Amino acid sequence: MRLGSLRQLRIAALVVLLGAASTVGGALFFEHVLGYVPCKLCLTERVPYYLTILLAPLAVVMPGRGARLVLGLIALVLLYGAGLGAYHAGAEWGFWPGPNDCGGGSGAGPADVGDFLKDLAVKQTVDCTKAAWRLLGVSLAGWNALIALVVGVFAGMAALRSR
């Protein structure tokens, strides 16, 4: 493998890492700063990014073939994430039903029944089929699908192009 193509692989892995970390950072900003409570699907959609954040540094330090394999794996993981985002966005638009068990991302459950009843009085259940926010008509789930698709395709192209 040429030194230049190994350098390109490492740069591509860093770009993928930056894209995944920025996306998760944005989701956490919406949740913890702006106060948007994520639904179950929202939380599930973050998993491919978490995996990418773990895998991308491996692609930076591995030799050529290993880096290509890791970037290819990242591409598959993010394309799966794009599918999750598209499914969620479609449920928000009413194209198909959302999951039956989607009803809130408030974290750990209450310790006892009394705490559970108090939580019910103050917490709103988050419905996966209702978009909490839109930009240019696209919900957070829709943006997630687009970002995961772009970063996933970029990772896949980097893995294939550097042969």
Nearest to 24, CA basis, from 147, 132, 133, 156: 147
- Say how many C-beta atoms besides its own lie within 10 A of residue 38's C-beta: 22
Q: Is 41 exposed, middle or buried (0-12, 13-18, 19+ CB in 10 A)?
A: buried
- Asked whether 23 and 49 are in contact (CB, 8 A), the reply is yes
pLDDT at 97 (0 to 100): 81
Average pLDDT of each block of 10 consecutive residues along the chain (163 residues)?
A: 72 95 94 88 93 95 90 97 93 83 54 66 66 75 94 94 64
Question: What is the pTM (predicted TM-score) of this model?
Answer: 0.79
Query: Quick one: pLDDT at residue 107?
Result: 47
Rounded (5°) CA angle 18-4-67: 50
Please report the pLDDT score of residue 22 as a whole number.
96
